[in-house]
Amino acid sequence: MQEVLPILVFQTDFTYLEGAVASMYGVVRSVSRNVEIITATHDLPQYDIWSASYRLQQYMEFWPKGTVFVSVVDPGVGTARKACCAYTKDGYYVVTPDNGSLTHIARMHGIEEVREIDETRNRLSSTRGTSVFHGRDLFGYCAARLASGVITYEEVGHAYDPEDIVQMPIEEPVFEGDAVRGILEIDDPNFGNVWTNIPTEDFLAKGHAFGEEVHVTINYEGKCIFDQDVRFDRTFGTVPKGQPVLYNNEQMHLSLAVCMGNFTKTYDVGFGSDYAITIRKASHA
């Protein structure tokens, strides 16, 4: 019976506009024809390490234990930043630059061990003249060797303290009376929804209920850009087409959408810590 190898799941900001993804996957296939390659996305926002970190925690838990994730958003490629492979406390591997990409995984899953990739043995030797494509030459190559069993995890490189992993700050929501303040943490770029850092369970515990009207304000760099009463509900279709709704997203966080529309385009809203959101009961409720 053939051994079932770990799956390789890739996310990058490379796009499919040129040959980067094809060459990266070609390197994996050159190491082993038997490793299964799955694309999570190659359309992460350019240079956006926060999005790389967030997207990993969005889907990691739904994969089999032992899956090897390759996450490459690497504006510091070729510089002194570490290249690493982290092993999570719940049994996943992440091959990535240590540049903040492990922030959410460290928080949500926990890092059991982290190893710096030994470039003397786990870097593609035929391309040593270039330092600008570690997705192909280092991360993809090392991940393929690990997933195919060519190397053990211990052979990735030397271990270092998980406490030394580069992490970005994660903001927490603040509840005050009948109001909660948070940020717009990420977007859903296909449908134009925006996701907050406010857990729906905590919001409900403060006396809110699905079906009620709430008042939502969004400020960007101190300027109010959204100030409306909206319905709070489980899904989009409980409001008329074109109307905003506050709903419980698939991450179980409060989020904003426009029914059969695009919230980010309609209201010119982005995401990040500069986008502050406050939600309270509507005045007429």
Residues linked to residue 215 through DSSP beta bridges, in sequence order:
229, 280
Q: How far apart, in whole angstroms, are the C-alpha atoms of residue 95 and residue 105?
A: 12
Q: Dump pLDDT digits (tens) for 168-204.
A: 999 999 999 889 999 999 999 999 999 999 999 999 9
What are the residue boundaries of the structural domains of the chain, listed by start? Answer: 8-164, 174-281
Q: How far apart, in whole angstroms, are the C-alpha atoms of residue 280 and residue 181?
A: 9
Which pLDDT tens digits describe the chain residue by residue (285 residues)? 567 899 999 999 999 999 999 999 999 999 999 999 999 999 999 999 999 999 999 999 999 999 999 999 999 999 999 999 999 999 999 999 999 999 999 999 999 999 999 999 999 999 999 999 999 999 999 999 999 999 999 999 999 999 999 999 999 999 998 899 999 999 999 999 999 999 999 999 999 999 999 999 999 999 999 999 999 999 999 999 999 999 999 999 999 999 999 999 999 999 999 999 999 999 865
Radius of gyration of the chain (CA): 21
Q: How far apart, in whole angstroms, are the C-alpha atoms of residue 244 and residue 266?
A: 10
Q: How far apart, in whole angstroms, are the C-alpha atoms of residue 242 and residue 257?
A: 9
Q: How far apart, in whole angstroms, are the C-alpha atoms of residue 26 and residue 157?
A: 23
What is the distance between the terminal CA atoms of the chain, rounded to a whole angstrom?
64
CATH 2.40.128.20 fits 8-164, yes or no: no
Q: What angle do CA 280, 281, 285 make, to 5 degrees?
A: 165
Q: Which fold has domain 174-281?
A: Elongation Factor Tu (Ef-tu); domain 3 (2.40.30)
